[in-house]
Amino acid sequence: MTRKKRSQTETYAEIPTGGAPMRKRTSLITILALALLAATSAWSAGTAVGQDISNTANVTYYDANGTIIGNNVASNTVHTTVTQIGGVVVAAGVTTGNGANNTFVNYAVDIENNGNGSDTINFTVATSAGWSPASITVYNDVDNNDAYTAGVDTLIPAGSYTTGAILAEAVFDIIVRVEIPNGDVAAGGAPNSVLVTGTSVFDNTKTGSVTLTTTANAAVLTVDLVANDTTPVPGQVITFTATITNNGNAGSSDIGCSNLIPGGFTFVPGSIVLGGPGSIDFVGGVVSGVLTGPLAVGASTTVAFQATLNSGVVSGTPINFVQSISHMAGTAPLVVTDTEPLTVGAGSGLTVSVGSSADTKTPGDVTSFPFDVTNGGSINDTFDLTSAGGAAGYVYTFGTDATCSSAITDTGVMAPGATATFYVCATVPATAGDTTTSTITITVTSAADVTKTFTSGNLVTTVTAPVLGILKAVDLANAAPGDTLTYTITVTNSGTGNATAILISDVVPAFTTYTPGTIQAGFSGSVAARTDSANSDGARFNANTVSAGDDGMVINLDNASGVNKVYILSYQVTVD
């Protein structure tokens, strides 16, 4: 819309008048000539083009006697026609504004024809400094209220910004709408300048401009992640603290936080500590959640947690922890990250895992206990192997197989993270009694750092040996010649170990004669008749001796808790 200039002050310049006397040509006549030259001018940029400017000079003069000769005699009239000049004034009542991301700031701008004739003023609207607006739109302020009125003010298409022909001193009113973009473009406190420049079509050397400065109101969050030690060694617990600070010009809330625990580290449960309201947890390998805030301008809050450097990570290995935060800055989340680089230091460490701590063996067997050694340090290391304790007759050695066939005294060089299985072995003495025990402990020590050591609990070997008892019985304590005697031999294993390949033999006593076909033999509960010959049925008669276990059938006795722990052999003789 165009309108008359709101106020105008016109200034006129006055040309002063003046006069000078004139001399008479004869001495008798004195003529006083007073030339009053009144040249009056009323020029200004506002004087309309085509205006005729005219004026006439007058003179009054006297003779030597003082007699008026000419009174106010007019000169000829001169004329000047005012030509057109261009002039442009671009102004805004308010030239600064601010707003949140993804909102509009409106400016009312006047474009005035400050020339003295009708003119068209073309104008441009463009960013001259700072961030780039999401959009700049220009509307004709139809209702002339210096504010954007939706549905009333009309959009002026970009590229055709012009007032059209407007009279001298007329004003063309526009609304410039600056859309503040998201926070990744327009950070809180950051300004943008839009320059509105008008140019006279009549005289393109005549321009006017105004700068509109828009400041984004938004939170500007930074994050600083710090580890309490940036050269950790395996097994060390590291505390990480992320400090979030609002350096913007508006508060923030609901700040998302995320930190993926990288390989080589293990999160310490229950170690999360918050410096303000929020909910952070460890889920799926990530320390994540939301700080609800609000976080005021200039304020800071923290998120702290702990992680342990795993065993076996090689010295010099770089490991980065990345703290990420996000908050809404307009319609899109703005993500900020900070990386804390760590380098694994040189350090020793070990982990020992013992298999079974109990073994059961019979005399003559090899008792052995397996254990796994892991180099939990960050450097190559060798681990010494020693044992303590053991019952008399037991000699313990270390090896890489279950019988310790090749004795060793250390693990040999192991790379960081390497795991190997070793054994501690001894042969159970033949003299070891049933249920006797031998107890030892083993110690594994880093050669690079003797403070890194492991001592096992008790490793116990229990001997399981057979203990056989033999009992012979006869059915008659008194017998006459010709009477029949029945002999019964019972062998019982009362030990915890099985007995193998037992041999029972009984010589037929003097003054008696073996009764053929009378042998009975078998395990308790299954005693049956046996032949006299050696046909592997569990007993025989040979050379005046009744025996079991030498006829081709091997007889084994279970231990005391077994079923076949008793073997019975019986036969008959006749008293001579």
Of 94, 128, 133, 148, the closest CA to residue 197 belongs to 128
Number of separate domains in the chain:
5
**What is the span of the domain harbouring residue 20?**
2-81
My answer on whether 411 and 480 are in the same domain is: no
Of 199, 416, 407, the closest CA to residue 316 belongs to 416
Please give the structure tokens belonging to residue 490: 């019972």
Of 258, 339, 338, 337, the closest CA to residue 305 belongs to 258
Please tell me what DSSP assigns to residue 526: -
pTM: 0.65
The residue written with tokens 């029972």 in the block is: 504
My answer on whether 414 and 318 are in the same domain is: no
My answer on whether 415 and 321 are in the same domain is: no
My answer on whether 270 and 333 are in the same domain is: yes
Q: What is the dihedral of CA 85, 90, 91, 97, to 10 degrees?
A: -170
CATH number of the domain encompassing residue 547: 2.60.40.740
Q: In one letter, which amino acid is 540?
A: R
Would strands 2-4 and 32-36 be described as parallel, antiparallel, or unpaired?
unpaired
3-state secondary structure (DSSP) of residue 261: coil
CA max distance for the chain:
223
| Separation between Cα atoms, residue 470 and residue 506, nearest integer Å | 12
CA distances, 555 to each of 498, 525, 561 (Å): 11, 15, 17
The predicted pLDDT at position 33 comes to 32
My answer on whether 287 and 381 are in the same domain is: no
The predicted pLDDT at position 50 comes to 82
My answer on whether 159 and 274 are in the same domain is: no
Please give the structure tokens belonging to residue 371: 């254990």
My answer on whether 564 and 532 are in the same domain is: yes
pLDDT tens by residue, 185-195:
999 999 999 99
My answer on whether 405 and 518 are in the same domain is: no
My answer on whether 70 and 138 are in the same domain is: no
My answer on whether 107 and 168 are in the same domain is: yes
The predicted pLDDT at position 393 comes to 96
Domain boundary among 321, 343, 365: 343
List the chain residues with pLDDT less than 70.
1-46
My answer on whether 298 and 339 are in the same domain is: yes
Q: In one letter, which amino acid is 336?
A: V
Per the DSSP assignment, residues forming a β-bridge with 240 are 227, 305
Domain boundary among 343, 368, 394: 343
| Separation between Cα atoms, residue 460 and residue 438, nearest integer Å | 6
Of 17, 57, 19, the closest CA to residue 35 belongs to 19
My answer on whether 95 and 196 are in the same domain is: yes
Domain boundary among 217, 232, 267: 217
Please give the structure tokens belonging to residue 176: 């410039």
CATH number of the domain encompassing residue 434: 2.60.40.10
